[in-house]
Amino acid sequence: MSQQETLLSIRNLNVRFKQEDAEPFHALKGINLDIPKNTTVALVGESGSGKSVTSMAIMQLLPAMQTLIDPASQILFEGRNLLELEGAELRRLRGKDIAMIFQEPMSSLNPVFTVGDQIVETLMLHAKLSRSAAAKRALELLIEVGLPDPEKKIKAYPHELSGGQQQRVMIAIAIACEPKLLIADEPTTALDVTIQKQILELIAKLQARRGMSVLFITHDLGLVGEFADKVVVMRHGEIRESDDVKQIFENPQDAYTKALLACRPQLDHRPLRLPVIDDFMKPGGYVSAGERQRGYSGDDEIVLDVQGLAKSFDIRHGLFGKKQFHAVKNVSFKLARGKTLGIVGESGSGKTTVGLTLVRLHQATGGKALFEGKDLLAMSPKEFHAYKRRIQIIFQNPYASLNPRFTVEQILSEPMMLHGIGNNPAERRKMAQDLLDRVGLPARSLLKYPHEFSGGQRQRIAIARCLTMKPEVLICDESVSALDVSVQAQVLNLLQDLQDEFKLSYLFISHDLAVVKHISDQVLVMNKGEVVEQGNADAIYRQPQESYTKRLLDSIPQGWTGGAPVLA
Amino acid sequence: MFAYIVRRVLQMIPTLFGVMLLVFVLFNVFGGDPSLVLAGKHLTAESLANIRAQLGLDKSQFAQFMIFVKQVLTLDFGTSWSTQQPVSDIIGSRIGPSLLLTGSMLVVDLLIAIPLAATVAYFRRGLTDRIVTICCTIAMSVSALVYIIAGQYWLAYKWGLFPVSGWGNSAFHNLWYYVPLPMLMGLMVSLGPDIRFYRSFFVEELSNDYVRTARAKGLSERVVMLKHVLRNALIPVVTTVMMSLPYLLIGALVLETFFSIPGMGNAVVLAVNNSDFPIIKAITVYIALATMVFNLLADLIYKLIDPRVQLK
Amino acid sequence: MTSTVQAAPAMNSTPEVHRGFWALGWRRLKRDKIAMVSLMVVGAFLAIAIAGWFNIIGDGWRKEVAVPYAPPSWLAQSADETLPPAEEEAGARSDAPIVTMTEAEDPIGKELAIARQNMGKYASVETPLRESLPFGGDLRGRDVIVKTIKGTSTSVFVGIFGALFTLLLGTVLGAISGYFGGKVDDFLNWFYSVFTSVPDMLLLLSFAAVAGRGIKTIIIVMALTSWTGTYRLVRAEYLKLKNREFVQAASAIGASDTRRIFVHILPNISHLLLVQFSLLTVALIKYEAILSFLGFGVGVTQVSLGSMLAEAPAELVQGVWWQMVAVTIAMSLLVTAFSLLVDGLRDAFDPKANK
């Protein structure tokens, strides 16, 4: 597996960023990291851990004006300290000895040059090939990275390719000059789960064939189990644990590593409450509390009955015509009181549109949504206003769902004012304080503005905002997808507590299959606007009937599988 | 593509109609009765009635509007009220000087502003950047009038480096002799804002992800700037230039007035002074039409240089 | 119960001061020295302008206190050397008798005799005209400094109120257009394209040609021609923000359209409106100068920086430069300060824009 020779050695890397108003932010607190030759090293951490900073520091890609690197820090590569390189020497290193691919392939490629030109550019620069030789080599590279239809695509512009194809192009550019080290900074985070699997397989294949080392940066520990040789866990600018992949998964030493491994929802069991970091950090460690059973029983009260929901969008076509894009076609389901219905699918499946249509943020083009016998979709806006407080929605982006100019108190009192809850401001403030306490935030948060909170905290405020109206149905539209794994666990636990206490019914929309399985009683699988499969969560995950469902489940990263080679 | 052009041309019609309506309402409805002005010294009831009949002022507003529409469609706006010359002749003779002046100003402006903006963006946030930005701001703040008055007085009158005003007969002679001073004055006014504007395009491009990728590939800062960033920044620059082309036709109103250049702008100022409505109306409609056509051209060129654009 | 483990991003350790958007921006602005200096200069100009509106200062600009073209006091030459000899008022102080009739023949002889007797009793306060003024005098001997103050006051008045009306018009139309979309948007877009098809100066002059002169007139005229920039900006912002999650959340909660437009979205663009207001003020001050110069701006009995510049070419030929310099200094200082302030405001409220 890993050879003893070290390719890159980071010693005492100490990085600070200048801040406007405060002391410089200490991003990396003197870390030490070794990357051996011909090895895949996974650098795992949540947001703010410093993993990206580490990777950018290697090639001096950090913004020069704001970065303060301690002079005692060293990054040794083939005997030289990379932090001391400048000018032509540095440029020779970049792209030739060490190459990098980034998270957002769409914006990382230059939009005005063709894909082929961008690969040729690297080849002409470092490999000193002539333009025609470089063009030939570029085509070979595109074939090697598995880009479909490479002869045509080589003349395409980046925006004409899909996300996965763009990332393949980025990989082709990176490996063009046979680098010794490939740094991959969250390369699959922005991609669908099925595409993600393909890209990971590609990287593993290239690593094996070319004998290069890969530094793979990700926030998802479960992802790396299948192809990493060594795992390094970071938190708050420090390395918590660094070991062979087998050790990390089977015998983690550090409390944080244990927490990271445990707090992700698993497919094979469903704890009563997801473990969170605190559970591991306190003395005594984590004690599991038992399993939770889920599923619809026969005599559940049905609170929302959706029949034949459909939504189409008009797109301009031709001179005067319009074409219809069917986002949602004929979706039906029943939501039981106090239970959760999960809707799972990839991007473009229509799952988000279902949620938005039910709260009438989009106008449905067909179907019914029966609530207490009345069709929510057919009511006049005035009639619907009375029902608004009973069916609420929590959005995905915690940074955009709270008005930046409102204080938390204003955010929470507004729904109360609009629905006549509470008789005066003092009463409303008391209710707001109670709710903040319920979602785990201190009362003095009332005076603060959204930008003073983290992502997880903002989602709690959003949840509190919904609770002010005492709703019966809550639609969670990818509500935990933008959160770190540990924060996600906290919010999922909160949602579960609230459901247990208030008998809330959830419609939980997500692309994350493990999360959906954990929180849902029933699951709806959607693809291209249609329901592919529907049933009790356990049943579907254990024995999927449809091929699409099977393909989805296969793509879920298996985590550590005991050393058996999963990827060729 | 064809469908797009057709749709855009069809959209121009209501806009042109709107411009005609605007011009009509302004001049015919609010503008007051011109027959008194035209009758001049020979004011008798008879001559008034004659003039009214001639101009069609004795008909209803709607009928007058239809006459105006016909004028626009046949490109015949009658004769100027002050000089009695046919409006089309006047306009025809004045486009040339305007274009010569503003055209050469545009070319020189671009040749200076773009490289300077790129250089300044390259050194952004440094001392050079701040100094140049402040200089541009100060230059922008001095009124065009001051530049022109001072320039004309010192450079032309006192030191005799340029002619004080006037215009010649051959394009070449004009370009070498009469254009430089007004062009210099015009540049003093336009370079400041243009440099700042183009700089912002470059700075914005520099903050994009593909710049990071280019650096990661090992390209030098120079190549990153001149090849990757420039090509992208040119898109908004070209768009801006295309959109400013129709303004070339109107000429630089103030410059032409000061330097007695017989261009369109000068014509407008004279016409407004003399309440010579036919000229103002004609020029307004023509310029509006030219603006719409140039906007369409700008969008088409935009499609050529930015591969992401899809015209629908 | 879950506790909050996740630390908030880089929070200040200072005690409970919760800074909203404006407070944060203000702090950033204070750190920008150039912007603060500009702010003070603009403030000073505003103070002068307001004082001028209420005629606290600059009121007596019309008084002809000096000889024509009186030079500045700090120049050695006096008026006598600058100009051709002043013409005497016809029949003013000549002592030589013109009338050659005797008192008896004179039809008003008796009255004149009485008047001559009374002459010594009434004192007329006639201050002699000064030979020079602190910054010189204009054609009619009016004090350039006082005139500049009043002129600045007028120009600033026109600029600010013109900008206010323009902003109001453009914002209302842009908000309606961006928020409601559909046919309303189509109609207002048509309106917008009609106005933008005609170049600024042309439109201004066309309006001015029919409207005439005067302060109120040009304020209205400038508002009617400049609203398009604000319209486009506000419309784009409303289009963008209308679909943001916090506005959708407001809709889901039950907020009405009006509430969403004014309470939710508008505060989020207020900083852009501030910048726009400043830009418009600067632009309108410059436009007013050109308009007044060409003869279409303020009325004949009013003075503005533009009308003062209008007198400059004639003065320069005679070697009289002080009025032009005074106006140039005043106007350049004001516009420079304002422009630098706008830059500072932009940086303070949208710091990402300039990295």
Query: Looking at the complex, does the CB of residue A94 fall below 8 Å from at least one CB of chain B?
Result: yes
- Is C249 close to A457, i.e. CB distance below 8 A? no
Q: What is the pLDDT of residues C313-332, one digit of tens each?
A: 888 878 788 888 889 999 99
pLDDT (0 to 100) of residue B40:
66
Cα angle: C115, vertex C121, C125; to 5 degrees: 105
Cα B121 to Cα A204, B172, B177, B195: the distances in Å are 41, 37, 35, 10
C208 or A461, which is more confident: A461
Q: What is the pLDDT of residues A181-199, one digit of tens each?
A: 999 999 988 888 888 889 9
pLDDT (0 to 100) of residue C355:
36
| Closest chain A C-alpha to C74 CA, distance in angstroms | 49
Burial class of B213 by CB neighbour count within 10 A (0 to 12, 13 to 18, 19+): buried
Q: Which CATH architecture has domain C21-66+141-354?
A: Orthogonal Bundle (1.10)
Contacts of B250 in chain C (CB under 8 A): 199, 201-202
Give dist(CA B232, CA B305) in Å, integer. Answer: 9
pLDDT (0 to 100) of residue C5:
34
Domain ranges of chain C: 21-66+141-354, 73-115
| Closest chain C C-alpha to B274 CA, distance in angstroms | 9
* Residue A434 and residue A524 in one domain: yes
Query: Average per-residue pLDDT in chain A?
Result: 89
Pair type for strands A6-17 and A67-69: antiparallel
Give dist(CA A33, CA A55) in Å, integer. Answer: 11
Classify C201 in phi/psi space as left (phi over 0), alpha (psi -120 to 50) or beta: alpha
Cα A336 to Cα A296, A535, A567, B57, C205: the distances in Å are 7, 13, 41, 77, 70
* Residue A238, in any domain of the structure: yes
Q: Pull the structure tokens for residue C101.
A: 């009739």
**pLDDT average, residue stretch A382-387:** 89
Query: Looking at the complex, does the CB of residue C268 fall below 8 Å from at least one CB of chain A?
Result: yes
Weakest-pLDDT range from A299-303, A353-357, B30-34, B70-74? B30-34
* Of residues B22, B250, B289, nearest to C194 (C-beta): B22
Q: Which domain range does residue A139 map to?
A: 103-178
* Residue A568, in any domain of the structure: no
Burial class of A458 by CB neighbour count within 10 A (0 to 12, 13 to 18, 19+): buried
* Residue A88 and residue A161 in one domain: no
* Residue A371, in any domain of the structure: no
* Of residues B157, B207, B271, nearest to C355 (C-beta): B207
Give the three-state DSSP class for C189. Answer: helix
Weakest-pLDDT range from A140-149, B160-169, C258-267? B160-169
**pLDDT average, residue stretch C290-298:** 81
pLDDT classification of C265: cutoffs 50, 70, 90 = very high
The 8-class DSSP code of residue A160 comes to: G
Give dist(CA B119, CA C30) in Å, integer. Answer: 29
**pLDDT above 80 for C90:** no
Give the CA radius of gyration of chain A. 26
**pLDDT average, residue stretch A476-492:** 90
- Contact between A229 and A244 under an 8 Å Cβ cutoff? The reply is yes
* Residue A117, in any domain of the structure: yes
Q: What residue ranges in A432-544 does DSSP mark as E strands?
A: 473-477, 505-510, 522-527, 530-536
| Closest chain B C-alpha to A98 CA, distance in angstroms | 9
Q: What is the pLDDT of residues A428-439, one digit of tens each?
A: 999 999 999 999
Which H or E run contains A76?
strand A74-77
pLDDT (0 to 100) of residue A565:
46
- Is A112 close to B232, i.e. CB distance below 8 A? yes
- Beta-carbon contacts of A337 under 8 Å, excluding residues fewer than 6 positions away, are A300, A301, A302, A303, A472, A503, A505
Give chains near A: 3+ CB pairs under 8 A.
Answer: B, C
**pLDDT average, residue stretch A460-472:** 93
Give dist(CA A250, CA A559) in Å, integer. Answer: 11
Classify A236 in phi/psi space as left (phi over 0), alpha (psi -120 to 50) or beta: left
Beta-carbon-side half-sphere exposure of residue C117 (alpha carbons within 13 Å):
6
CA A498 and chain centroid, separation: 24
- Is B272 close to C206, i.e. CB distance below 8 A? yes
Query: Average per-residue pLDDT in chain C?
Result: 81
| Closest chain B C-alpha to A214 CA, distance in angstroms | 16
* Residue A108 and residue A168 in one domain: yes
**What is the number of domains present in chain A?**
3
pLDDT classification of A1: cutoffs 50, 70, 90 = very low
pLDDT classification of A414: cutoffs 50, 70, 90 = very high
**pLDDT above 90 for A172:** yes
Give dist(CA A349, CA A530) in Å, integer. Answer: 8
* Residue A65 and residue A49 in one domain: yes
Cα C121 to Cα A245, B32, C115: the distances in Å are 117, 56, 10
**pLDDT above 90 for A475:** yes
Closest CA to A558 of A99, A298, A256, A224: A224
Query: Looking at the complex, does the CB of residue B122 fall below 8 Å from at least one CB of chain A?
Result: no
pLDDT (0 to 100) of residue C13:
44
pLDDT (0 to 100) of residue C192:
92
Q: Partners of A165 in the beta sheet? A: none
- Contact between C279 and C342 under an 8 Å Cβ cutoff? The reply is yes
Give the CA radius of gyration of chain B. 24
pLDDT (0 to 100) of residue A151:
92
Q: Pull the structure tokens for residue C321.
A: 């430069």
pLDDT (0 to 100) of residue C97:
60
Query: Looking at the complex, does the CB of residue B102 fall below 8 Å from at least one CB of chain C?
Result: no
Which amino acid type is present at position B219?
Answer: L
* Residue A407 and residue A484 in one domain: yes
pLDDT (0 to 100) of residue C125:
67
Query: Looking at the complex, does the CB of residue C30 fall below 8 Å from at least one CB of chain A?
Result: no
- Is A110 close to B213, i.e. CB distance below 8 A? yes
Query: Looking at the complex, does the CB of residue C329 fall below 8 Å from at least one CB of chain B?
Result: no
- Beta-carbon contacts of A198 under 8 Å, excluding residues fewer than 6 positions away, are A146, A164
pLDDT classification of C351: cutoffs 50, 70, 90 = low
Query: Looking at the complex, does the CB of residue B81 fall below 8 Å from at least one CB of chain C?
Result: no
* Residue A54 and residue A151 in one domain: no
pLDDT classification of B252: cutoffs 50, 70, 90 = confident
* Residue A231 and residue A354 in one domain: no
Query: Looking at the complex, does the CB of residue B124 fall below 8 Å from at least one CB of chain C?
Result: yes
* Residue A89, in any domain of the structure: yes
Pair type for strands A391-394 and A473-477: parallel
Give the three-state DSSP class for A493. Answer: helix
Query: Looking at the complex, does the CB of residue C234 fall below 8 Å from at least one CB of chain B?
Result: no
- Contact between A509 and A481 under an 8 Å Cβ cutoff? The reply is no
Greatest mean pLDDT among A386-390, A543-547, C168-172 lies in C168-172
* Residue A49, in any domain of the structure: yes
* Residue A538 and residue A515 in one domain: yes
Q: Pull the structure tokens for residue C210.
A: 């029919």
Give dist(CA A129, CA A137) in Å, integer. Answer: 9
Contacts of C11 in chain A (CB under 8 A): 452
Cα angle: B152, vertex B153, B156; to 5 degrees: 60
Weakest-pLDDT range from A117-121, A402-406, C155-159, C351-355? C351-355
* CATH number of the domain encompassing residue A508: 3.40.50.300
Identify from C194, C317, C318, C355 which residue to disrupt to test chain B contact, counting B C-beta atoms within 10 A and taking the largest count.
Answer: C194
**pLDDT above 80 for B56:** no
Which amino acid type is present at position C136?
Answer: G
Q: What is the pLDDT of residues A271-304, one digit of tens each?
A: 888 888 888 777 766 777 778 888 887 778 889 9
* Residue A482 and residue A492 in one domain: yes
- Name the A residues in 409-428 with CB < 8 Å from any C CB: 414-415, 418-419
Give dist(CA B194, CA B112) in Å, integer. Answer: 10
Closest CA to C250 of A185, A393, B68: A393
- Contact between A266 and A245 under an 8 Å Cβ cutoff? The reply is no
In chain C, helix, strand, coil percent, each to 5? 65, 0, 30
Q: Pull the structure tokens for residue B90.
A: 């006047």
- Contact between A232 and A41 under an 8 Å Cβ cutoff? The reply is yes
| Closest chain A C-alpha to B113 CA, distance in angstroms | 23
**pLDDT above 50 for B265:** yes
Q: Pull the structure tokens for residue C311.
A: 């007198």
**pLDDT average, residue stretch A512-537:** 91
Give dist(CA A253, CA A86) in Å, integer. Answer: 40
Query: Looking at the complex, does the CB of residue C210 fall below 8 Å from at least one CB of chain B?
Result: yes
Weakest-pLDDT range from A244-258, A280-294, C69-83, C292-306? C69-83
Query: Average per-residue pLDDT in chain B?
Result: 83
Helices (H), C243-304: 245-253, 257-259, 266-294
pLDDT (0 to 100) of residue A328:
92
Give the three-state DSSP class for A302. Answer: strand
> How many helices (H) and strands (E) would you count in chain A?
21, 21
Give dist(CA A147, CA A154) in Å, integer. Answer: 9
**pLDDT above 90 for A44:** yes
- Beta-carbon contacts of A177 under 8 Å, excluding residues fewer than 6 positions away, are A95, A96, A99, A122, A123, A126, A127
Closest CA to C227 of C284, C148, C184, C268: C284
* Residue A228 and residue A172 in one domain: no
* Residue A265, in any domain of the structure: no
Query: Looking at the complex, does the CB of residue C312 fall below 8 Å from at least one CB of chain B?
Result: yes
Give chains near B: 3+ CB pairs under 8 A.
Answer: A, C
Give dist(CA A394, CA A466) in Å, integer. Answer: 8
- Contact between C125 and C47 under an 8 Å Cβ cutoff? The reply is no
pLDDT classification of A515: cutoffs 50, 70, 90 = very high
Percent of chain A with pLDDT over 70: 96
Residue of A nearest to B3 (CA): A319
Phi–psi pair at C130, nearest 5 degrees: -75, 160
**pLDDT above 60 for A232:** yes
pLDDT classification of C103: cutoffs 50, 70, 90 = low
Percent of chain A with pLDDT over 90: 54
Cα A409 to Cα A163, A416, A443, A474, C168: the distances in Å are 41, 11, 10, 22, 30
Percent of chain C with pLDDT over 90: 26
Query: Looking at the complex, does the CB of residue A126 fall below 8 Å from at least one CB of chain B?
Result: yes
pLDDT (0 to 100) of residue B212:
92
pLDDT classification of C11: cutoffs 50, 70, 90 = very low
Query: Looking at the complex, does the CB of residue B110 fall below 8 Å from at least one CB of chain C?
Result: no
**pLDDT average, residue stretch A440-446:** 90
- Contact between C150 and C58 under an 8 Å Cβ cutoff? The reply is yes
Weakest-pLDDT range from A263-267, A562-566, B1-5? A562-566
Q: Pull the structure tokens for residue A22.
A: 């405060």
